[in-house]
Amino acid sequence: MAKILTPPQAAPIMDIAKELLPPGMELVVVDPGKPEFYDKAADAEYYLGSPRTGIGNEFFRAAPKLKLIQLTSAGYDRVDLEAARKAKVPVANNGGANSVAVAEHAVMLMLAVLKKLVYHHNNVVAGKWRPGDFASIRTYEVEGKRLGIIGLGNIGKKVARRVQGFDMDVRYFDILRLTEDQEDALGVRFALFTEILKTSDIVTLHVPLNDVTRKMISTRELAMMKKTAILINTCRGPVVDEDALHQALTAGTIAAAGLDVMVEEPPKPNHPLFSLPNVTLTPHSAGPTWDNWTKAYRNGFDNIQRIEAGRSPLWVVPELRDLVG
């Protein structure tokens, strides 16, 4: 019987995993923070979950039978890929299980920033009905605005599809370009990275965190953006240089930002961005919706079954695809 090591979740979520668990497989539920985690790892053939702490050499040494790290998240920056390579264990993400959720969240942040949702909510509950005037408290429409998508993977494509209903002008930058027919079908056009920054009204980030993307948005990049532009980040906090962003928002280099992720999570209570009125924040909550737990576990178990049947797993991260041929 294949043993699958998985971290505990709330009981209703674990019920989903148990309901989908294929025959001939056993879920071994253990908290990574407990000493017995490494004891249980000794017999585990698979890891299924989203690590709250890093997965590195110590774990791979403790799990000599391991065949796959199957993540329930899209991001994989908490897995030491060099340690995985050394152990010859592929790492797969969730196969887009949360891509709809994150895409919707990105669009929500765009609207929340442009419509000043948090500002108006706070005033209403404080007993202030329509304070100020419409010239000083400006809100905006998305129709006709140029959206620049940086990273056109599963999530970026879904963002592009969703904003078509708003009649936005969509440009994208990705290291993998679509064909013209594919661009037509999605309603997007390729632009260079610097073009995206210089011409977009909204820039939304959908890239993995790695050595190339860390601080890819910093002082120079923010200075290229329009003074009226807003920045949306629902991928990983360290993709944006927070000090540079704080300076840009304070100085009026860009207009506003909507962030679901931060460099340090949770952030310290006195984080400089908290005091700015032109920042809308959510607590890295874009990905996990009630709807997509089923998708994440279904994709995970499918990948495990593939390996058990002698086939290659899907959704292996690019850095380790050579491990599966």
130: CB partners within 8 A, 6+ apart: 123
What is the model's pLDDT at position 134?
84
> Can you tell me the distance from the alpha carbon of 72 to that of 263, in angstroms, rounded to the nearest whole number?
21
pLDDT recorded at residue 53? 79
Residue 202's pLDDT is what? Answer: 99
Among residues 112, 52, 115, the alpha carbon closest in space to that of 234 is found at 112
Give the tens place of pLDDT for each residue, 97-149: 999 999 999 999 999 999 999 999 999 999 999 888 888 889 999 999 999 99
In whole angstroms, how far apart are CA 140 and each of 107, 231, 233? 14, 15, 19
Q: Which CATH architecture has domain 99-281?
A: 3-Layer(aba) Sandwich (3.40)
Of the chain, the percentage scoring pLDDT greater than 70 comes to 100
Q: What is the pLDDT along the chain (325 residues), one digit of tens a residue?
A: 999 999 999 999 999 999 999 999 999 999 988 889 999 999 999 999 998 778 999 999 999 999 999 999 999 999 999 999 999 999 999 999 999 999 999 999 999 999 999 999 999 999 999 888 888 889 999 999 999 999 999 999 999 999 999 999 999 999 999 999 999 999 999 999 999 999 999 999 999 999 999 999 999 999 999 999 999 999 999 999 999 999 999 999 999 999 999 999 999 999 999 999 999 999 999 999 999 999 999 999 999 999 999 999 999 999 999 999 7
Predicted local confidence at residue 133, as pLDDT: 81
Q: Which residue in the list 26, 58, 264, 265 is annotated as catalytic?
A: 265
Q: Which residues, in sequence order, are CB contacts of 100 under 8 Å at separation 6+?
A: 158, 291, 292
User: Does the annotation mark 236 as catalytic?
Assistant: yes
The answer as to CATH 3.40.50.720 being correct for domain 2-97+289-324 is yes
Active site residue 78: no
> Phi/psi of residue 205, each to 5°?
-100, 130
Does 2-97+289-324 match 99-281 in CATH topology? Answer: yes
pLDDT digits (tens, 9 = 90+) for 277-306: 999 999 999 999 999 999 999 999 999 999
Q: In 72-192, where does DSSP find H-type helix?
A: 81-87, 99-114, 117-125, 154-163, 180-186
Q: pLDDT at position 153, please?
A: 95
Domain locations in the chain as residue ranges: 2-97+289-324, 99-281
Please tell me the predicted confidence (pLDDT) of residue 142: 97
Q: pTM, whole model, 2 decimals?
A: 0.93
Catalytic option among 284, 298, 306, 319: 284
Task: HSE, CB side, 13 Å, CA atoms: give it for residue 174.
Answer: 23
Q: Has 177 been annotated as catalytic?
A: no
Sole residue written with tokens 């264990």? 89
